[in-house]
Structure 1
Amino acid sequence: MQKTILILNKMDTIKWGIIGCGDVAEIKSGPAFQKVANSELVAVMRRNKAKSKDFAKRHNVPFFYDSIDDIINHPDINALYIATPPSSHLEIAKQCLNAGKFVYLEKPMTMNADEAIELEKIITDNNKIVIAHYRRNLPAFQKVKELLNTNSIGKIHFTDITILQSTTNNIIAKTEDNWRLKPETSGGGYFHDIAPHQIDLMLHYFGKIKNVQGFATATKNNKVADIVNGIINFENGVQFRGIWNFIASENDVKDQCIIYGENGSITFSFYGKKVILDTTNKKEVFSFENPVHVQQPLIEETVKYFLGKAKNPCTVKDGVDVMKILDRFTTQE
């Protein structure tokens, strides 16, 4: 163990492997590993070797594999990005950690809260793992955090999320087998795919929770919740309510969060470019452009953390808290 610590102390570059070089890795995350300082993308892996080779060729990645063991054991790689469907996250994360590799783990971090807690329990002081709740590092959401921290709308009363999407929504990545609608692979449906970002931001903004309650409906009787309604009582007194509907009419499509305070409100979209501050004294609109590779800001902070130059930008505990809420919103006792 002492030898391992000595090697990590001398590390000056994070050399990555991607496990699961599919749709998410194509633009949102993959290229960022090559653009961040002190970071290199060494190898990619996909069970379909032809697709793995194609990704490597198009993105100028030196090595490609169709075996998880092979990429984990690549001698130059010291960190792995797990971008497979959630059903495999826990076991692959265990393999990576056991091999002494750092881990950047896609959301949702596991299939459910029980798996998330299991992963949390096996992490030692020598392990480093970051959960890819990347929206907290994007400029629009950082602006919201700044407005809250500077008391721009006074004492916060409650926050309201409304996500209404039709069956032809364009905010969720499409795949050939549409695994996101297979609960045995995704852990749920579209809610489990996008809600981790929204719930993580609420926890990031408002802190610890006191009570959680939720209700979900699977209209097609396929165990995939397409309507989810949840409420949270935060320890600081902030109240939260959220509705997610993935079978809404095209006319009703909506993506909005409003935070209400004693002196006004903050309104923003999770997929838009504006933050609106509306108070008793003024109304301001702040506009933002996301980076081409939206995970790049979080990956940059992750690299710094892995190199010992920054704190963990999104911890396993953060991920566990999100998974607990997902379960409470969608599982009726």
Structure 2
Amino acid sequence: MDKIIWGIIGCGDVAEVKSGPAFYKLEQSELKSVMRRDLSKAEDFAKRHTIKHWYNNASSILEDPEIDAVYIATPPASHLQYTLDAIKAGKHVYLEKPMALNADEAEQIKTALNGAKTKLTVAHYRRHLPAFMKVRELLNNNEIGEVLFADIQILQARKSHLIAKSDKPWRLNPKVSGGGLFHDLAPHQLDLMCLYFGEYNSAKGFSISKNKKEADEIVNGIIDFKNGIQCRGIWSFNVAEADQKDECVIYGTEGRIIFSFFGEVVTCIKKGEEHIYKFTNPKHVQQPMISAVNNYFLGKGENPCAAEDALIVTKIMDAFTSNY
């Protein structure tokens, strides 16, 4: 096998630019079919991206013997069933984040992979973007000395520009998204913290909806990592536009690293000297990750984000929103 033939289950807003085109632009990849419950929208996506086949049911893709792997880009409520069906059908899976509605469902996916011949990667794609790879390099090189703690602040107004646009506001419905805007954005931050700092002892948090809505508007949490590093974070989705913030600061004994999860600049301040590193993300921001996934599915590389890694992130999210 010299390339992976793909099908997309859920060709909606996320697949439009961030990920979808990468499946047919990469040399070791071919996108054969796409699916969306609204057949006319599936057809529209397929024709604009010159995809030969479109459907309004996942079985048409899963039953196609030519398709090697599927990208599941539906809302989280359907991740579990589609993933179990794909594993049963013998298809490799690239699964959008968050992995599932909660840790119980994520555990079911992990269990289903035991003994299966299929492979699965979760789309924590920031792992392969240059800014966050630079942060990891700075940490590995001890540029700020011994790491002490990290501070995350994701403060957004109700109409945050960070939230992907969709036909329906399903991200605000916990039964579909898992909990709200926190569940849409926090996997990006929490996965990187786990990537940088390793295994953790415990995670605790609090969450609340100030307007008595179903979805949490404020989430606070802290993670105690086994290496002694602590990470604290606050996510709020009801601040004034002027107070919006997207920042992480990692403090060490000799300095600090500052970056944005949705930006392209990393600043390292060490002993009073400021070093600024600027990057440019690819147009299709998931393309580097999808390239690594192709290599993994072809047996030419390691798993860029295993189910075990994504399960940890899901457990932390559950711990931060346990009172909800």
Structure-1-length-normalised TM-score: 0.96
- The range that moved more, 281-290 or 227-236, is 281-290
Cα deviation, 1:278-326, whole Å, max 9, x if unaligned, reads 0105210000110000100100000000000001000000110000000
Residue from 195, 199, 216 that aligns with 2:190: 199
CA distance in 2, matches of 1:272, 1:69: 38
CA distance in 2, matches of 1:128, 1:220: 42
Report sequence identity in percent.
52
Q: What letter is aligned with 1:131?
A: V
Q: CA deviation at 1:175?
A: 1.3
Q: CA deviation at 1:75?
A: 2.3
In structure 2, the partner of 1:310 is 301
The answer to whether structure 1 residue 143 and structure 2 residue 134 are counterparts is yes
What RMSD in Å do the two structures reach over aligned CA positions? 0.9
Runs of 4+ residues deviating >3 angstroms? none
In structure 2, the partner of 1:242 is 233
The answer to whether structure 1 residue 33 and structure 2 residue 28 are counterparts is no
Secondary structure at 1:203 match in 2: helix
Residue from 105, 111, 115 that aligns with 1:121: 111
Residue from 86, 106, 110 that aligns with 2:100: 110
Q: What letter is aligned with 1:28?
A: K
In structure 2, the partner of 1:8 is none
Residue from 51, 55, 58 that aligns with 2:45: 55
Aligned counterparts, 1:296-307, within 5 A: 296-307=287-298
In structure 1, the partner of 2:121 is 130
In structure 2, the partner of 1:188 is 179
Cα deviation, 1:37-76, whole Å, max 9, x if unaligned, reads 2100000000111000000000011111111111111221
Gaps of 5+ in 2: none
Q: What letter is aligned with 2:48?
A: R
The answer to whether structure 1 residue 232 and structure 2 residue 220 are counterparts is no
Cα deviation, 1:7-66, whole Å, max 9, x if unaligned, reads xxxx22100000000000000000001112210000000011100000000001111111
In structure 1, the partner of 2:202 is 211
Cα deviation, 1:100-145, whole Å, max 9, x if unaligned, reads 0000000001000010011111113412000000001100000000
Structure-2-length-normalised TM-score: 0.98
The answer to whether structure 1 residue 157 and structure 2 residue 139 are counterparts is no
CA distance in 2, matches of 1:331, 1:200: 19
CA distance in 2, matches of 1:281, 1:246: 34
Secondary structure at 2:7 match in 1: strand
In structure 2, the partner of 1:171 is 162
Cα deviation, 1:150-171, whole Å, max 9, x if unaligned, reads 0000000000000100011101
Q: CA deviation at 1:255?
A: 0.4
Q: What letter is aligned with 1:280?
A: K
- The range that moved more, 192-201 or 70-79, is 70-79
Residue from 3, 7, 13 that aligns with 1:13: 3
Q: CA deviation at 1:222?
A: 2.4
Q: What letter is aligned with 2:256?
A: S
Q: Is the 8 A contact 2:87 2:112 kept in 1?
A: no
Q: CA deviation at 1:256?
A: 0.3
CA distance in 1, matches of 2:209, 2:322: 11
Q: What letter is aligned with 2:205?
A: G
The answer to whether structure 1 residue 71 and structure 2 residue 61 are counterparts is yes
In structure 2, the partner of 1:92 is 82
Secondary structure at 2:160 match in 1: coil
Q: Is the 8 A contact 2:255 2:270 kept in 1?
A: yes
Cα deviation, 1:203-260, whole Å, max 9, x if unaligned, reads 0000000111100011222221110000011000001100000001111100000000
Q: How many residues align?
A: 323
CA distance in 2, matches of 1:37, 1:316: 26
Q: Is the 8 A contact 2:131 2:265 kept in 1?
A: yes
CA distance in 2, matches of 1:281, 1:151: 16
Secondary structure at 2:246 match in 1: strand
In structure 1, the partner of 2:250 is 259
CA distance in 2, matches of 1:281, 1:193: 36
